[in-house]
């Protein structure tokens, strides 16, 4: 049976929720969430949203800081668009009920500073901005009569005109197949407009700050449908993820360094001054490489982030969640330095889109971390990601609202007549583990041609095994995610192999210098097949 909606939104992070709220007064909306609506990378964002909100700052400075961090690869016009729309995006969130932290007089918004920013321009809700924003918008989503929420559902693949008829002159998106994780049934959803807002792909790496749902689903589905992807080699490793056996993926916010936190070796010696004149406030790629260098050079499991020189009251006020979580684990950050390691954090590349979030396929949009808008270039500036979700969520929504109404196509139902129940799941768990380990070892912060070649060879072997499994057995959430992760891993490695230089987040020992000209890496599907 086919369900029909004007707009199908796959993903429930800030980009997806923004889009849903912008169109729902005029369109019927289906929001697909892999788990609960609140389980997204947006919810985990601690830092905040970058916006020019005081007279000492300027949009030009925000643009310049973004361009510098992006190492020559940012699209200047897109960067200007996003920086210019930042204030109204923050004001829209305030109008939705988000209560940002304010100064003691309770009037002006409190602005913090993060690495790579020349000014204080980060609006935040203490140290849990993403959670506060997500909670506020999710409540509004649930109350809206025009929005149908499918939680614990995962998109399997997009339905396009060329999937139905491979000789179709136009490749147009018609909807998607979606697996209900409770019943195990695949439902067919027809939509006039489909939006990919599935977030990033951090789970392709062994150590990540991302939630378990970050498996690159939107990027993989778009690629299989025929969309180009760009700049997939630029994976941002957050320099400071808490290193503790009982803390899974807990991020120590950039703002800790922004407010004076110092990085130290186990003996208490600082090391950032030797790596960059900006010291702890250097952009993330510089800091992550410095930590990686020190750990490898000295055989360390971690380094330490020290904020103990600040008063307890200051720490509790600025970092209540970090303070509480570390205390649960026996670390009093007002008296002890925090053990930290770099971890995969953000995908700067993704599905290629224009200024409205449109992909190469008609009626298909990509917004948020899934997309490559040109804003981040070779390295994302801190707190520009939630901002990008807002700006592009609203831009794509305006385009959809102005699009002419179309007739719904009759779509074929999911065919599983030739598959059986899987006899054992061990292939999935073992392959997942193997993939994440060799991606961490071979395609991490520092790369070599040999490591990349080795990784690609393993990916091809595993991909063929998993594709065979996918064809013959009933699909599951884990199988869909593994298939998508292998596809995204291949795109990351192929992109990294093609870049014969070091730029931003991509650092190659074999090609340590940066070319004079900055050229995006664009991969184009050739003779692609949809399954």
Catalytic residues: 284
DSSP output for 354-394: -TT-B-SSBTEEE-GGGEE-SSSTTSPPTT-HHHHHHHHHH
Token digits of residue 326: 């570390």
Distance CA 58, CA 40 (A): 31
Cβ-based neighbour number of residue 77 at 10 Å: 10
Q: Where are the alpha helices (DSSP H) in 126-208?
A: 129-143, 161-164
Distance CA 129, CA 272 (A): 27
DSSP output for 490-503: HHHHHHHHH--S-B
User: Cβ(411)–Cβ(190) under 8 Å?
Assistant: yes
Token digits of residue 70: 């992006």
Pick from 247, 225, 259: which is nearest to 325 by CA? 247
Q: Give the up-direction half-sphere exposure of residue 306: CA atoms within 13 A in the CB hemisphere.
A: 17
Pick from 38, 39, 17: which is nearest to 29 by CA? 17
β-pair type (147-151, 229-230): unpaired
Residue with tokens 């050229």: 519
β-pair type (338-347, 235-242): antiparallel
Cβ-based neighbour number of residue 514 at 10 Å: 14
β-pair type (350-352, 338-347): unpaired
CA 400 to mean position of chain CA atoms: 23
Pick from 75, 83, 4, 9: which is nearest to 393 by CA? 9
User: Cβ(44)–Cβ(130) under 8 Å?
Assistant: yes
Q: Where are the alpha helices (DSSP H) in 226-364?
A: 254-258, 272-275, 284-298, 312-318, 320-328
């Amino acid at each position: 049976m086919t369900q029909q909606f004007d707009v199908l939104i796959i993903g429930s992070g800030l980009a997806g929720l923004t889009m849903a709220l912008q169109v729902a007064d005029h369109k019927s909306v289906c929001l697909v969430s892999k788990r609960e609506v609140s389980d997204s990378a947006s919810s985990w964002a601690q830092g905040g949203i970058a916006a020019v909100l005081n007279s000492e700052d300027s949009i030009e400075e925000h643009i310049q800081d973004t361009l510098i961090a992006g190492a020559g690869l940012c699209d200047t016009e897109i960067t200007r668009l996003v920086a210019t729309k930042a204030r109204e995006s923050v004001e829209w969130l305030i109008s939705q009920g988000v209560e940002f932290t304010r100064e003691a007089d309770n009037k002006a918004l409190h602005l913090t500073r993060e690495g790579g920013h020349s000014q204080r321009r980060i609006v935040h809700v203490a140290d849990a901005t993403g959670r506060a924003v997500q909670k506020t918008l999710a409540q509004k989503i649930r109350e809206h009569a025009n929005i149908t929420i499918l939680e614990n559902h995962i998109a399997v693949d997009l339905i396009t005109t060329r999937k139905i008829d491979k000789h179709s002159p136009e490749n147009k998106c018609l909807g998607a197949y979606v697996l209900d994780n409770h019943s195990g049934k695949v439902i067919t959803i027809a939509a006039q407009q489909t939006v990919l807002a599935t977030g990033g792909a951090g789970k392709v790496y062994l150590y990540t700050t991302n939630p378990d749902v970050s498996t690159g689903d939107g990027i993989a589905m778009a690629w299989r449908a025929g969309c180009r992807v760009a700049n997939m080699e630029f994976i941002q490793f957050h320099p400071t993820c808490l290193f503790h056996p009982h803390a899974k993926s807990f991020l120590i916010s950039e703002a800790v360094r922004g407010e004076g936190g110092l990085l130290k070796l186990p003996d208490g010696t600082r090391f950032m001054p030797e790596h960059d004149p900006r010291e702890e406030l250097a952009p993330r790629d510089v800091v992550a490489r410095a930590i990686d260098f020190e750990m490898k050079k000295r055989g360390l499991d971690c380094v330490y982030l020290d904020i103990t020189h600040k008063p307890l009251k200051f720490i509790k006020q600025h970092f209540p969640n970090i303070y509480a979580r570390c205390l649960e684990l026996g670390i009093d950050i007002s008296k002890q330095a925090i053990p930290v390691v770099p971890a995969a954090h953000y995908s700067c590349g993704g599905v290629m889109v224009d200024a409205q979030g449109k992909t190469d396929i008609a009626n298909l949009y990509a917004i948020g971390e899934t997309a490559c808008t040109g804003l981040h270039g070779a390295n994302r500036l801190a707190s520009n990601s939630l901002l990008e979700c807002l700006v592009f969520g609203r831009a794509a929504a305006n385009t959809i609202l102005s699009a002419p109404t179309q007739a719904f196509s009759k779509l074929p139902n999911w065919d599983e007549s030739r598959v059986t129940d899987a006899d054992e799941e061990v292939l999935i768990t073992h392959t997942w583990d193997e993939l994440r380990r060799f991606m961490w070892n071979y395609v991490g912060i520092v790369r070599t041609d040999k490591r990349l070649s080795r990784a690609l060879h393993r990916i091809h072997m595993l991909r063929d095994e998993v594709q065979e499994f996918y064809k013959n057995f009933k699909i599951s959430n884990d199988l869909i995610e593994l298939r998508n992760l292998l596809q995204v891993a291949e795109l990351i490695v192929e992109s990294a192999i093609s870049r014969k230089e070091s730029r931003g987040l991509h650092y190659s020992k074999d090609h340590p210098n940066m070319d004079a000209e900055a050229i995006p890496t664009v991969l184009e599907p050739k003779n692609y097949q949809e399954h």
